[in-house]
Chain A
Amino acid sequence: MTSLLTIQNLKRHFGGLWATRDVSLEIQCGEIHALIGPNGAGKTTLIHLISGGLFPDEGHLLFDGRDVTKKSMHERVALGIARSFQITQIFPKISVLENVRLAVQARQRDWGSSLSMWRPASADFSMIEEAEDWLGRVGLAEHAGTHAADLSHGEQRALELAMTLATRPRLLLLDEPLAGMGPEESERMTQLIASLKGEQTVLLVEHDMDMVFRVADHISVLVAGHIAATGTPDAIRADSAVKRAYLGEDVA
C-alpha cells in the first residue's frame, strides 16, 4: 500500500490554545481511516487543515507526493480532497437533483471558456444523468425533485455525501457523518460508508464507536492535539493508553 496523504508535524493554535499540537499521520490508498478522540481533541480542526478551510502554523501536507500545504480549498478539491461538514452544508432552496448536479458540474474547471457562460447548463444531459446515479447510490433517487430544505436531517446528510462523492475525490473527509441521526438513519449511513470500502480512501471523524470499529481499517486516536495511537481496530481496542485516555466503558 502507498500513502495517499502524509501529514508532517502539523501545528495550529488559536490564541493560546494549541488545537493541533504536533500531528503526523499517513493515510494509505484505499483504506478507511477513522479519527477518534474526546471532545476538543482537535479532530475537526485537523479536518479543516487537511481540506484547506484552515491553514497550519507549521508543518506540511503531502497529497500523493505533492505539497498542498498552501493550496486553497477549491484547489485541493481539484486535486482530489473533498469533505463533508459536521453541520450539513447543502443548497436548501434548489432541488435535490440540482444540488448534486452542481457538484458534478464543479469538476468541469473551464471557467475561462466561453461555453461555461453561454451554453445552458440544462443542455448537458450527461451531468443530470450522473447526478441521478449518485442520488441512487445514496438512496435518494425518489427525492430528486424535492427541495433540499424539505428533506429529513438524515436525508440531507446523505445528500451531502452524494455531493461530496460527485466531486470524485481521491480522499474523502467525513466529519461526523452520523451527527444528529436516529438509529435507523445511522445504520443506513454506516452501510453506505462501509460500501465505499476498497474503492474509496476515507478519513472519518466519528463519535459512534460501533460504527467506527465496524468500518475502519485503521484508527487513530487524537488526544489534546496530538496522535496518541494509530493501529488496526483490534490493536486500538487492546491499547491500554487509549482506554485510559478515551474509550473508557465503550470497550468494556
Chain B
Amino acid sequence: MMRASRSVLSGTLLGELALLSFAIILPWLLTALGEDYYIGFATRLLIYALAATSLNFVVGYGGMVAFGHAAFFGGGAYLVALLMTGGLLSAWANWPLTMLIVALLAWAIGAISLRTRGVYFIMITLAFAQMIYYSVISLKIAGGDDGLPLDQRSSLFPFDLGNDHILYWLALGLLAISLLLLKRLSHSRYGHALAGIRQNETRMEALGYPVQQLKLACFVIGAVLAALAGALLVNQNGMAGPGQLYWTQSGMLLVMVILGGVGHRYGGVLGAFVLLGLEEALAQVTEHSHLYIGLILLAVVLYAPRGLAGLFFKSR
C-alpha cells in the first residue's frame, strides 16, 4: 500500500515539475514571440495566485471565512512602498520587515476576531479591513486617495528586479516555495490538528488542543504570505493604491478561492489563473465581462462545489 501511494505521489510530482519547467521558460518564450506585455500579465497571475493561496490556507485549512484579506495583501503593498519612501530600498530588509509588521497586525486582528465565529467572523474581519482602508486613505504620507507611487522597484542585490523577467521568476519562486511550505504544513501534526478543528472544535479542545491559538497561527501565516504577495504586487504595479485595500479586493480573493477549490492545495492558484485569465480574455470581446464571470462562478458553486480543483484532482 505504501509503495502504491508513493508511485501516485511521484506521478503528481512529475506533472508539477513539468508545469514548473514550463513556467520557468515562459518569459523567454514570450520574449521570443515578441509578446513581452504578457510577461507582466503572467507575473500578476502568479502574485494573485500567491495571495489567493494564502487566503485559501485560512479559509480551507483553518476553516475561517475571512473577508478582510485585502488588509494584509494591500497592507503589504503599502508598507513596502512606505518603507521605500523612507529610504529602505533593499527588499532583503524591507520585505521581511513588512511581513513582520503584518504578522503583528494579523495577530491583533485575529485575536479579537476569533472570539466570534461564522457570519460574525466574516463581518468583523471585513470591519477591521475597512477600518484600515479608511485610515490609510486619510494619511498624507500614504498618498491619500492617489496612493503611493514608487520611483523604482525594490533592490534585490545581486538580482535586478527592474528586469521584468527577474520579477516574474521571483514571483514564481516565491509561489512555488509557499506551495511547498503549505503542503508540508498540511501533512504535519499541525496540519492534522487543523483538519480536526475543521471537523469538531469541541472535540479538539477536549483532547487538549489549544484551538484558538492554533487557528490564530493559521490566520497569521495566511496574512504573512498575503503580505509577501503584496510586496510583489507593489513592485509589479509601480505603486500601492487604495483599491488594493478595499473590500472588493478581499471579495475577489474569496471568489478566486471558491472558484479554484476551498481547501485544495492548488485551489488558490487555479482560481486566480482562471478568474484573471477570463477577465483578460473576455475584456477583448465584450464590455460585460463581469456578467459572464458571475455566471461562471454561479455554475461552479452549483455544479462543482469543491471548485475547479475538485473537478481536476481527486485528492486534496
Q: Does B209 contact A (CB under 8 A)?
A: yes
Residues of chain B within 8 A of A62, CB atoms compared? none
Of B126-134, B139-147, B182-190, B246-254, the stretch lying at the interface with chain A is B182-190
Inter-subunit contact A105/B203 (CB<8 Å):
no
The 8 A CB mask of B75-117 against A (1 = contact, 0 = none) is 0000000000000000000000000000000000000000000
Which listed residue (B191, B192, B202) contacts A85, Cβ 8 A?
Answer: B202
Which of A14-22, A109-117, A226-234 contacts the other chain?
A109-117
> In the bound complex, do residue B190 and residue A102 qualify as a contact, i.e. CB atoms below 8 Å apart?
no
Q: Which of A84-123 contact B (CB under 8 A)?
A: 85, 89-94, 98, 101-103, 105-109, 111, 115-122
Q: How large is the interface on B (under 10, 10 to 19, 20 to 34, 35 or more residues)?
A: 20 to 34
The answer to whether A122 and B187 have CB atoms under 8 Å apart is yes
- Asked if residues B188 and A120 are in contact (CB atoms below 8 Å), the reply is yes
Partner of B206 from A89, A107, A119, A121 at Cβ < 8 Å:
A89
In this assembly, does B213 line the interface, its C-beta being within 8 Å of a C-beta of chain A?
yes
Tell whether, in the assembled complex, residue B207 and residue A167 are in contact, meaning their CB atoms are under 8 Å apart.
yes
The segment out of A4-12, A75-83, A212-220, A235-243 that lies at the interface is A75-83
Contact B199 A91 (CB under 8 A): yes
Q: Is A27 an interface residue (CB 8 A)?
A: no
What chain A residues lie within 8 Å of B150 (beta carbons)?
Answer: none
CA distance A51 to B193 in the complex (A): 21
From 147 to 198 in chain B, residues with beta carbon under 8 angstroms from any chain A beta carbon are 184-185, 187-193, 195-196
Determine the distance from Cα of A91 to Cα of B204 in the docked complex, in whole angstroms. Answer: 9
Q: Give the A-B pair count, Cβ closer than 8 A.
A: 88
* Most A C-beta atoms less than 10 A away, residue of B184, B203, B206, B217: B206
A50 located at the interface, meaning its Cβ lies under 8 Å from any Cβ of chain B in the complex = no
* A118→B202 CA distance, assembly (Å): 25
**Bound Cα distance A93, B200 (Å):** 10
- Specify which chain B residues have a CB less than 8 angstroms from the CB of A74 in the assembled complex: 205, 208-211
B282 at the interface (CB under 8 A from A): no
A94 to B204, CA, bound (A): 14
Bound Cα distance from A101 to B207, whole angstroms: 11
**Is B214 part of the contact surface with A, judged by Cβ < 8 Å?**
yes
Contact code string A184-224 (vs B, CB < 8 Å = 1, else 0): 00000000000000000000000000000000000000000
Closest chain A residue, CB of each to CB of B207: A106
Provide the bound-state CA to CA distance between A115 and B207, in Å. 20
- Chain B, residue nearest A98 (CB): B192
Closest residue on chain A to residue B221 by CB atoms: A117
Q: Assess whether B184 is in contact with A118, with CB atoms less than 8 Å apart.
A: yes
**Among B187, B199, B208, contact of A94 (Cβ-Cβ < 8 Å):** B199
A-side contacts of B193, CB under 8 Å? 102, 105
Contacting pair A105 B206 (CB below 8 A): no
A73 at the interface (CB under 8 A from B): yes
Residues of A within 8 A of B191 (CB): 117, 121
Contacts A109-B208, A167-B208 given: A89-B200 contact, CB under 8 Å?
yes
Asked whether any CB of chain B lies closer than 8 Å to the CB of A61, the reply is no
Is there contact, CB below 8 Å, between B206 and A90? no
Q: Write out, one digit per residue, whether chain A residues 54-82 have a CB within 8 A of any chain B CB (1) or not (0).
A: 00000000000000000011100110001
**B202 → A minimal CB distance (Å):** 6
Q: Are A119 and B207 in contact (CB under 8 A)?
A: no
Task: Report Cα–Cα, A107/B195, bound state, in Å.
Answer: 17
Q: Does A34 interact with chain B (Cβ within 8 Å)? A: no
Q: A89 near B192 (CB under 8 angstroms)?
A: no
Q: Are B206 and A85 in contact (CB under 8 A)?
A: yes
Q: Are B202 and A105 in contact (CB under 8 A)?
A: no
Mark interface residues in B236-251 (1 if CB within 8 Å of A CB, else 0).
Answer: 0000000000000000
Bound: A77/B80 CA distance, A:
43
A68 to B195, CA, bound (A): 29
Give the chain B neighbours of A124 by CB distance below 8 A.
Answer: 189
How many angstroms from the CA of A179 to the CA of B251 in the assembled complex? 45
Residue of B nearest to A80 (CB): B208
Contact with A along B280-308 (1 / 0, CB 8 A): 00000000000000000000000000000
Q: How far is the CB of B182 from chain A (nearest CB, A)?
A: 10
Inter-chain contact A94/B206, CB cutoff 8 Å: no
Q: State whether A91 and B200 are in contact (beta carbons under 8 Å apart), knowing that A102-B193, A116-B189 are contacts in the complex.
A: yes
B188 touches which one: A77, A94, A102, A119 (CB < 8 A)?
Answer: A119
Q: Are A108 and B189 in contact (CB under 8 A)?
A: yes
A-B contact list, 14 entries, CB within 8 Å: A74-B210, A77-B206, A82-B206, A85-B202, A89-B203, A90-B200, A102-B193, A105-B189, A111-B214, A116-B188, A117-B188, A119-B188, A121-B192, A124-B189
Q: Contact residues of A with B, CB < 8 Å? A: 51, 72-74, 77-78, 82-83, 85, 89-94, 98, 101-103, 105-109, 111, 115-122, 124, 163-164, 167
B residues lining the A interface (CB < 8 Å): 184-185, 187-193, 195-196, 199-200, 202-211, 213-214, 217
10 additional contacts (CB under 8 A) given A91-B199, A111-B214, A117-B188: A51-B206, A74-B211, A85-B206, A90-B200, A92-B199, A102-B196, A106-B204, A111-B210, A111-B213, A115-B189
- 10 smallest beta-carbon distances between A and B, as pairs: A77-B208, A106-B207, A89-B203, A91-B199, A106-B208, A117-B190, A120-B187, A121-B189, A121-B192, A116-B189
